[in-house]
């Protein structure tokens, strides 16, 4: 039999290029694989056990060998055995899985934050330094990265198989996931939640770089403005600074250092100010009125894009004093500037 050498070579190359197991490129991956192999071995043992029982009984008690069946009612002991052992195994799977789940979805405090915006059908990544990427994400190795993600339209899902992480990207709400890449290289990024026509084109490349390379990359690809700087511009152009000026008589509360603090709201509840809270407070201000202030802030629902919101959130995160806010305000007022670009009436 002669197989054409060309075909043979093609087959060999094809098989070599194909994958059977994903590479382990994050700190979480070995943990995930350990659980995977544990579950896999339970499955194999279970299937082998059932197959052995079927085969052995089929051979030993086939009609030719065992012409008359012996009627057995059952055995409580045996049944208890195969109730309790699987139950025990499943409970181990539960505890193990739960530990891993909490690990993947609770980012460490020292992690670096990158924002992800999903929309039909592309991923936008926004680094704090202002680097924007489409369908790509550059990350340093050896550094925990937290992704704060939101969707502009439908459900998407951000999945990096080589890092063993995945998280739904939800419209109207931030979701987070974190990872720490270990091996430099390029990895797949998939949208795994069906999101319409070009769902399968909503893919990208994750590039893990050594810290030095990453530094080089950030310098090369900077847009000149950090997210916080963009946010500052937006803050001024939307006229936010008119009320949130930090003056004693200001109509809105001072926002310097508000991130991470605990606020008391007019409805008596206490909230921790985080990304989600800031975003919500901009979009639905009257449900988040700080105690002592009147609900006069208009809603910005539909007027600021998710990117804009991210800029504002990032700006507020880094806002430690009101000095620049007041400076900008004075400049604007003295120039009697035209109404803000977005046309939002000041309250």
Partner 1 sequence: MDSAIANPQADHDAAEHEHEHVFVPQHRHHFATEEQQREAGSFGMWLFLLTEIMFFGGLFFAYLLYRNWYYDAFVAASNQLSIPLGASNTAILITSGFFMALAVWAAEVRKKALLVVFLIFTTLFGLAFLGIKYVEYHEKWEKHHIPGASFDASEFINPSAYGLKENPLPPDVAQKTQMFFFLYFAMTGMHALHMIIGIGLLVWLLARAQRGDFTQGYVAPIENFGLYWHFVDIVWLYLFPLLYLINRHPLAH
Partner 2 sequence: MAHEVEQEQHFHDPSNVTNPEHASHHIVSPAQYALVFAALLTGTALTVVAANIDLGVLNPIIALGIACTKAIIVILFFMHVKYQSHLIKTTVAAGFFMFLVLITMTLSDYISRAWGLW
Partner 3 sequence: MSAPSPTILKLPDQSSATMPKRNFINAEHGLLSWLLTGDHKRIAILYLISITVFFFIGGAFAGLIRLELLTPQGDLVSSDTYNKLFTMHGIIMVFLFLVPSVPATIGNFLIPMMIGARDLAFPKINLLSWYLYIAAGTIMIASMALGGVDTGWTFTTPLSTHYLNTHVVTTAVAVFIAGFSSIFTGLNFIVTIHRMRCPGMTWFRMPLFVWAHYAASILMVLGTPVLAITLVLVGLERIFGIGVFDPTKGGDPLLFQHLFWFYSHPAVYIMILPGMAVISEVVSTFARKRVFGYTAVAFSSVAIALFGFFVWEHHMFIMGVSNYSALVFSLLTMLVAVPSAIKIFNWCFTLQQGSITFETPMLYAFGFMGLFTIGGLTGVFLGSLGMDIQLTETYFIVAHFHFVMVGGMLMAFLAGVHFWWPKMTGRMYPESLSKLAAVVTFIGFNLTFMPQFILGYLGMPRRYHAYPPEFQVLNVLSTAGATVLGVGYLLPVLYLAWSLKYGAIAGDNPWQATGLEWQTQSPPLTENFPEIPIMDHEAYDYEWLEHKTQHEVTHVG
Which residues are paired to 150 by β-bridges?
117
Partner from partner 3, partner 2, partner 1, none binding residue 200, C-beta < 5-8 Å depending on class:
partner 3
CB of 30 to partner 3, least distance (A): 13
The window from 126-134, 140-148, 160-168, 321-329 that contacts partner 3 (CB under 8 A) reads 160-168
CB of 173 to partner 2, least distance (A): 8
Residue 267 found at the interface with partner 1 (CB under 8 A): yes
Distance CA 228, CA 15 (A): 48
Handedness of CA 236, 242, 244, 247 (dihedral sign): positive
CB of 19 to partner 3, least distance (A): 5
Residue 90 found at the interface with partner 3 (CB under 8 A): yes
Residue 97 found at the interface with partner 1 (CB under 8 A): no
Per-residue contact track with partner 1, 285 to 314, x per CB under 8 A?
A: xxx-------x--xx-x-------------
- Check residue 265 and report its DSSP letter: B
Strand order in the sheet with 156-160: 136-140, 204-209, 185-191, 156-160, 165-169
Residue 106 found at the interface with partner 2 (CB under 8 A): yes
Quick check: 128 and 227 in contact, CB under 8 A? yes
Helix 323-335 vs helix 227-237: crossing angle, to nearest 10: 40
Count residues contacting partner 1 (CB under 8 A)?
12
Secondary structure E strands in 180-328: 185-191, 204-209, 262-264, 270-272
Question: Pseudo-torsion of CA 137, 143, 144, 146, nearest 10°?
Answer: -40
The window from 15-23, 242-250, 254-262, 321-329 that contacts partner 3 (CB under 8 A) reads 15-23
Q: Which residue, 269 or 301, has its beta carbon nearer to partner 3?
A: 301
CB of 282 to partner 1, least distance (A): 11
Q: Which residue, 244 or 288, has its beta carbon nearer to partner 2?
A: 288
Residue 192 found at the interface with partner 3 (CB under 8 A): yes
Question: Pseudo-torsion of CA 11, 14, 20, 24, nearest 10°?
Answer: 150
Among 36, 82, 90, 105, binds partner 2 (CB under 8 A): 105
CB of 133 to partner 3, least distance (A): 19
Burial of 256 (0-12, 13-18, 19+ CB in 10 A): middle
Residue of 111, 187, 207, 123 whose CA lies nearest to 158:
123
- Check residue 221 and report its DSSP letter: T
Residue 266 found at the interface with partner 1 (CB under 8 A): yes
Residue 8 found at the interface with partner 3 (CB under 8 A): no
Per-residue contact track with partner 2, 107 to 146, x per CB under 8 A?
A: ----------------------------------------
Secondary structure E strands in 171-324: 175-179, 185-191, 204-209, 262-264, 270-272
Quick check: 165 and 206 in contact, CB under 8 A? no
Residue 283 found at the interface with partner 1 (CB under 8 A): yes
Per-residue contact track with partner 1, 225 to 264, x per CB under 8 A?
A: ----------------------------------------
Q: Which residue, 13 or 264, has its beta carbon nearer to partner 3?
A: 13
- What does the binding site for partner 2 look like in residue numbers (CB under 8 A)? 105-106, 174-176, 276
């Amino acid at each position: 039999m002669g197989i054409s050498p060309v075909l043979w070579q093609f087959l060999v190359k094809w098989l070599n290029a194909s994958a059977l197991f994903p590479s382990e490129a994050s700190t979480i991956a070995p943990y995930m694989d350990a659980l995977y192999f544990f579950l896999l071995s339970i499955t194999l043992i279970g299937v082998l056990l059932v197959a052995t029982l079927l085969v052995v009984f089929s051979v030993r008690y086939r009609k030719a060998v065992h012409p008359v069946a012996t009627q057995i009612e059952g055995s409580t002991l045996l049944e208890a055995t195969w109730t309790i052992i699987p139950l025990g195994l499943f409970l181990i799977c539960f505890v193990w899985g739960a530990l891993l789940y909490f690990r993947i979805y609770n980012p460490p405090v020292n992690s670096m934050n990158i924002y992800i915006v999903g929309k039909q059908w592309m991923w936008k990544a926004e680094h704090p330094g202002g680097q924007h990427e489409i369908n790509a994400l550059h990350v340093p190795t050896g550094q925990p990265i937290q992704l704060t993600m939101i969707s502009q339209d439908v459900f998407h899902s951000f999945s990096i198989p080589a890092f063993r992480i995945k998280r739904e990207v939800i419209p109207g709400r931030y979701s987070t996931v974190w990872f720490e890449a270990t091996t430099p290289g390029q990895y797949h990024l998939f949208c795994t939640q069906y999101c319409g026509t070009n769902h399968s084109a909503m893919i990208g490349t994750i590039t893990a770089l050594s810290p030095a390379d990453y530094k080089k990359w950030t310098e090369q690809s900077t847009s000149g403005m950090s997210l916080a700087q963009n946010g500052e511009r937006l803050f001024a152009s939307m006229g936010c600074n008119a009320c949130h000026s930090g003056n004693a008589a200001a109509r809105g509360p001072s926002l310097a250092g508000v991130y991470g603090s605990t606020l008391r709201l007019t409805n008596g509840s206490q909230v921790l100010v985080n990304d989600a809270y800031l975003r919500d407070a901009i979009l639905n201000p009257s449900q988040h009125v700080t105690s002592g202030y009147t609900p006069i802030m208009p809603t910005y629902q539909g007027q600021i894009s998710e990117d804009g919101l991210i800029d504002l959130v990032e700006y507020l995160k880094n806002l430690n004093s009101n000095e620049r806010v007041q400076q900008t305000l004075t400049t604007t007022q003295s120039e009697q500037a035209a109404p803000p670009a977005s046309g939002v009436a000041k309250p």
